[in-house]
Amino acid sequence: MEIFWFIAIAIVLAMFFILDGYDFGAGIIHLFFAKNEEDKEVITKSAGLFWDSNEVWLVAGGGMLFMAFPTFYASVFSGFYLPLIIVLWLIVFRAIGLEFRAQFNYQMWKDIWDASFGVSSLLLALFFGIALGNIVRGVNLGGVENGISTHEGQYFFLPLWDSSFSPLSATPGIIDWFTIIIGVISVVTLAMHGANWIILKTNSSINEKLKSVIFKLNIALAILTVLSLSVWQIVRPESLNNFFEKPYLIVFPIIYFTGLIGLFYIKKLKKDIYGFIFSTLIILGGITSSLASLFPVILPSINNVNESLTIYNTSAEEYGLSVALVWGIIGFSLIFIYFIVQKRLLAGKIDKMDYGKH
């Protein structure tokens, strides 16, 4: 049952980053490339019509994590308390930026909420990438100092950064040079994903320009990917062991590199949907490859005193997991029905659809 719920939660979180990821990306594109009012309005609309339904996946993932792996949930939500609060506020300001922008037809008012939408989207992409960097790097479980735990082995606390700014420190912070690299990869990836979404769903005047932007960002992503894989071997030398021991896991990196290679042909693709599919593959492959490299560990310990958190030592009782399976099937069914209906109602280009005007 632990493996089932691990896979189920991984699917839900992947859906969140694929779906809400294009909202983050649209915000980044809006911040840097939307210059005239028509483009700003339609790009805002491409995110605004979908953001609330997309974040259902985040709520579902959090609820499932609390149910299936309560010890991991308690550990992460206490150890990452400060960045999680920052993420919460960024989500709030992104949402109100979208919802408030069109309430008054004053340029200063629009500029304020455009900045709220764009900057919040950029920082959310960065912080979610940094969060992934922390997971794959590991944390000082138990707060070990001089070989002695200062608190229970499944708990930890991280400052925003350590004075060394190094992932190799015995007491690393949330932000270091390794997690920053993963954060930048997240920003670049979601910016491309958002650009592909804008091309797919709108007739924005910058659509052709965005194809060139995607191509350049994809070059940057390829370089960052090689860099991150290299430094990951320094941070966690055993990070690729799972792929050698279980060769079938190589399918996940293949998914990632298929998307990466595909986007080099963005200017030649005949249908807009293809670009969006390729950026989706990058996100899906990146998340699944990261999880596969750790499995069954879900939060590595960087000390030798306390063991890493795994799906087995953090899970709920078997009875609880079994009972939750029934309700999980019902919940999944409702989410997918909601998702399908919403996407069908908003199929095609959304330029002429109404959003945010009262």
pLDDT digits (tens, 9 = 90+) for 90-113: 999 988 888 888 788 787 888 898
- Find the helix packing angle between 2-33 and 318-345, rounded to 10°: 30
In this structure, is the dihedral angle defined by the CA atoms of residues 102, 108, 113 and 114, taken in order, positive or negative? positive
The percent of residues above 90 in pLDDT, for the chain, comes to: 38
Distance CA(346)–CA(164), nearest Å, equals 49
Distance of CA 54 to the CA centre of its chain: 12
Please give the pLDDT value at position 62. Answer: 87
Res 358 pLDDT > 50: no
Backbone angles phi, psi at 300, to 5 degrees: -70, 145
What confidence tier does 155 reach under pLDDT thresholds 50, 70, 90? confident
Distances (CA, A) of 355 to 49, 106, 205, 255, 295: 7, 17, 19, 35, 43
Please give the pLDDT value at position 153. Answer: 76
Please give the pLDDT value at position 56. Answer: 85
What confidence tier does 356 reach under pLDDT thresholds 50, 70, 90? low
Distance CA(104)–CA(355), nearest Å, equals 13
Please give the pLDDT value at position 330. Answer: 85
Mean pLDDT, residues 68-90 taken together: 89
Are the C-beta atoms of 24 and 114 separated by less than 8 Å? no
Distance CA(304)–CA(255), nearest Å, equals 34
What confidence tier does 80 reach under pLDDT thresholds 50, 70, 90? confident
Please give the pLDDT value at position 355. Answer: 66
Nearest to 218 by CA among 134, 281, 137, 133: 281
Distance CA(156)–CA(164), nearest Å, equals 19
- Element housing 148 (H / E): none
Average pLDDT of the chain to the nearest whole number: 88
Nearest to 227 by CA among 192, 260, 182, 183: 182
Detail the DSSP E strand segments found in the chain.
297-299, 309-310
Between 338 and 208, the higher pLDDT residue: 208
Return the minimum-mean-pLDDT range out of 125-134, 162-171, 181-190.
162-171
In this structure, is the dihedral angle defined by the CA atoms of residues 294, 298, 301 and 305, taken in order, positive or negative? negative
> Which residues, in sequence order, are CB contacts of 137 under 8 Å at separation 6+?
167, 172, 176, 178, 179, 235, 236, 300, 302
Res 236 pLDDT > 70: yes
Res 285 pLDDT > 60: yes
Rounded CA Rg of the chain: 21
